[in-house]
Amino acid sequence: MKKVAILMRKAPYGSVYTAEGFRSVMGIGIFEMDAALAFVEDGVYALAKDQNPEQLDMQPLGEGFPMLPEFGVNGFYVHQPSLEERGLSVDDLVMEVQLIDNAGLAKLLAEYGTVLTF
Amino acid sequence: MLYTVNKSPLTTTNLETCLAIAPDSEPILLYEDGVYGAMDGGRLSKRIKEALERHPIYALQADLEARGIQRIIEGIQVIDYDGFVGLVEEHNVVPWI
């Protein structure tokens, strides 16, 4: 099975990267490839609870990620140093994730081999 | 002058540079991804708290709510779009974007 890691590095509403990354991972899941999502740097903000962008005429992005297992996506990893640097903890996130450190992230990306960055 | 910052403070140096340049008492407005600078507990929180002793700092409510930002540094003034317009009417603007 083809394995693809999606590296999410951007905050959710300041650009289209997070939304496009989400669309891509849904597609990868549908085609029955093994997809892992890794949230790094400002990408961790995408998983913050209580996002409410209606006033900006945008769709809430955080709520979408917990639905991805229905599309066959089951690997959710968060870079712990990025989370801590932003004053966040796992309690602030919309779903359960596996925390990884620098070495863990490098290992994950090497294991998956193909990396798409958003 | 009103200094406005719209980029995330941990992926760009915009906010830090702006804080270094803005003269004492000049207001700073955080909007779009700039509002992440208003969140307490992060690597730059201490720097922002120090800046609050020298500047009024504002953060746009719609952008805070969009991003689910809950813990806002004490002293940062949360404003709505009317407040934004009021600041822009009152000051010339330095868009530090």
Domain range annotation of chain A: 3-117
pLDDT at B32 over 90: yes
Q: How far apart are CA A88 and CA B45, in angstroms?
A: 12
CB within 8 Å of A26: residues ≥ 6 apart: A68, A71, A73
Closest residue in A to B11 (Cα) is A42
Mean pLDDT throughout B48-61? 98
Domain boundaries A3-117, corresponding CATH code: 3.40.1260.10
Instruction: Please tell me the predicted confidence (pLDDT) of residue B82.
Output: 98
For residue B6, the distance in angstroms to the closest alpha carbon of chain A comes to 9
The reply to whether residue B36 touches residue A50, judged by beta carbons under 8 angstroms, is: no
Q: What angle do CA B92, B95, B97 make, to 5 degrees?
A: 175
> In a mutagenesis test of the A interface, which of B67, B79, B97 is the best target, namely the one with the most A β-carbons within 10 Å?
B67
Distance CA A55, CA B68 (A): 13
Torsion angles phi and psi, residue A90, rounded to 5: -60, -25
User: Which of A41, A56, A79, A93 to substitute to test the interface with B, most B CBs within 10 Å?
Assistant: A56
ipTM over 0.90: no
B32 to A12: CB separation less than 8 angstroms, yes or no: no
Residues of A in contact with B5 (CB under 8 A): none
Residues of A in contact with B69 (CB under 8 A): 48
Model confidence at A111, pLDDT cuts 50, 70, 90, reads very high
Which residue does chain B place closest to A12, by CA atoms? B67
Give kind and range of the element (H or E) at residue A30. Answer: helix A17-30
Cβ-defined contact of B67 to A41 (cutoff 8 Å): no
Q: Pick B2-95's CATH classification: 3.40.50.300, 3.30.360.10, 1.10.1740.110, 3.40.1260.10.
A: 3.40.1260.10
Element (H, E) at A75: strand A75-79
B33 has a chain A CB within 8 A of its CB: yes
pLDDT digits over A47-82, tens only? 999 999 999 999 999 999 999 999 889 899 999 999
N- to C-terminal Cα separation, chain A = 23
- The model's pLDDT over B64-74, given as tens digits with 9 standing for 90+, comes to 999 999 999 99
Name chain B contacts of A88, Cβ cutoff 8 Å. 41
Tell me the C-alpha distance between B57 and B59, whole Å: 7
Q: From the CA of A52, how many Å to the nearest CA of chain B?
A: 4
